[in-house]
Chains A and B, each alone.
Chain A
Amino acid sequence: MIYLNKKLYLTNYTMILPSVAVGNVAQLSIDLLISTLSLRKIGCIFDTCFIPLVGADPYNKTNQEICTSVDLYLSDEKKLVVLQIRTPLVKKAKKFFYEILNFVKDYKILKVIILTSCFGHDKRDEQIRTVPFCYLTTKNISKEFKQQFEELSWKGLESSFLEDSNKTIWQIHGGGFAQMIFELLQENNIISVVLFKFCSEGNNIPDAVELINCLNCWLQLFKIDSKFKFPPSWNFVFGKSTPKEIY
């Protein structure tokens, strides 16, 4: 169920969504994007495939707004719709994927960018020697975008050949549902790009910064040398300060 707090016109907008993946890199990247661009919340999605969650606004300490498991944010200036997911996927998400697909179709959104991450140990020969990012695009992507990716020296995801089934496949280990939603969008002729970073579990804030910087080189959402605004909700990522009583 999608709830929107106002009527929207999103023709030719870009939608960015995270896949719940290794190190939560994509979700952290979306947090950075919402906080840095001061995006406005426009609604939320309730689906039983996610654990329900509510809390105070993660991006503004004084705001009375609440956050839920899946929220939608908007920037009219940048022509951007951003989806944030705050809980893991616990059930089949087919209904959720179709809800996203219908939203994209109904509002005539131009392209969908899926951010995710992949286990660092999964890197192959060429990937070890180059930047730790890879991308995957639908076949209907424009020549202009392809040229931009080449200019940015982005590397396409290498496919694997399965001898048993005589098939060529793409795999993003630890990438969550990114590939599934990508395939659904591809089947429905929606221009989509999966952008991911190889990483390992730990403090993944630097990975998120790098992933957003990489995305920004393409979309030009903010000045390349501008500083990120970290959301105040990140202040306790490593827990509270130690209680004085223990000294």
Chain B
Amino acid sequence: MASFFGEVVYPVSRAFWNDEDDHEVLENTEDTREFVINWIESEPSKLDKFIIVEGEMMIDFVTKTILENSKLVCIIEYDCDKNSTRIYLIDNSIYVCIVSTKLDLIHTGQLTEAIAPILSNSVNLYTLTSDHMLHFKSDEETNSISFLKKLCSSRSQSNENSEISTLNQPNFVTGACAGVFTYAEMTDLPCIMYILYTDTFILDSKNALPLVELFSDLFGKRPNLSAVNSSFFNKGNLYM
């Protein structure tokens, strides 16, 4: 906002991040902070299944229903403890990476670069993310309250699950999941990205249904909804 009478306020452009001309981005001091990967357990030489989870809603669901008896095996730190991304191990076979919800979108490329060696050691990569239905653009009218879309890397196209339709243009995904997917495409790794579109910003028993079915395939077991006693189902339409 203009603070002085007569001040010249130059227009800004949507093209620039935080209204900064690229000149300003380039002139700003270099951010020398880096991601530090700390393995609590010994670093695995091969990961059969590596699942990257991003977004508050998806993380909440995975944490409550899948990560119950998991083991924390790795902490990826950036800036401070609050920003740490964590890797958990389930049933000694599935590695799940929970991307910190505090991580700024502008650092997600850097995170991808940091975990690239782990991605290269993975046999099958999956990414899980979510978005609001308002952001989904399509000619087709939909009455469902939630639905899943997927994107398959060139290598994984033959293994694709045909029940979930492919993300159509002009929809796109940004962030760590997109970074991992791009890396997989460039290095010829099989990767499938799942995106859950919902009509609310919180999950309830109805709009979580596509995830229940997907998780049965992905984790080899149905998510333990009965064990959940808080959070993601508690913000329904009930007032009491």
Contacts and interface: CB of A to CB of B under 8 A. Distances in A.
Contact of A236 (B106, B112, B170): B170
B12 to A, nearest CB: 8
A229 to B, nearest CB: 15
Contact of A48 (B113, B153, B173, B174): B113
Say whether chain A's binding surface is mostly helix, strand, loop, or mixed: loop
Interface stretch (B24-32, B68-76, B77-85, B232-240): B24-32
Sort chain B's interface into a size bin: 35 or more
Interface in B102-144: 105-106, 108-110, 112-113, 137-139, 141
B137 A240 contact: yes
A51 B30 CA distance: 17
B186 interface: yes
A22 B15 contact: yes
Sort chain A's interface into a size bin: 35 or more
Contacts of A56: 151, 166-172
B15 A88 contact: yes
A87 B25 contact: no
B109 A52 contact: yes
Contacts of A44: 182, 185-186
A123 interface: no
A64 interface: yes
B22 A91 contact: no
A58 interface: yes
Contacts of B16: 20, 88, 176
A55 B105 CA distance: 17
A24 B14 CA distance: 8
A98 B152 CA distance: 31
B151 A66 contact: yes
A124 interface: no
Contacts of A21: 13, 15, 22
Contacts of A68: 178, 182, 185
Given A64-B157, A88-B15, A240-B137, A51 B182 contact: no
Contacts of B152: 64
Nearest to B191: A54
B129 to A, nearest CB: 11
A1 B183 CA distance: 10
B95 interface: no
B128 to A, nearest CB: 14
A24 B173 contact: no
A30 to B, nearest CB: 13
Interface in A9-57: 19-24, 27, 44, 46-57
A234 B169 CA distance: 9
Given A52-B175, A66-B185, A24 B15 contact: yes
A82 B107 CA distance: 27
B95 to A, nearest CB: 20
A139 interface: no
Given A54-B182, A61-B168, 14 more contacts: A3-B187, A23-B13, A44-B185, A46-B112, A52-B109, A52-B174, A58-B169, A89-B17, A91-B106, A93-B25, A174-B21, A180-B22, A180-B26, A239-B137
Interface of A: 1, 3, 19-24, 27, 44, 46-58, 61, 64, 66-69, 86-93, 119, 121, 173-174, 176-177, 179-180, 200-201, 232-236, 239-240, 244
Interface of B: 10-11, 13-17, 21-23, 25-26, 28, 30-31, 105-106, 108-110, 112-113, 137-139, 141, 151-153, 157, 166-176, 178-179, 181-183, 185-187, 193
Q: Which 10 A-B pairs have the closest CB atoms?
A: A55-B172, A52-B179, A233-B170, A48-B109, A3-B186, A176-B22, A52-B178, A90-B106, A236-B137, A56-B169
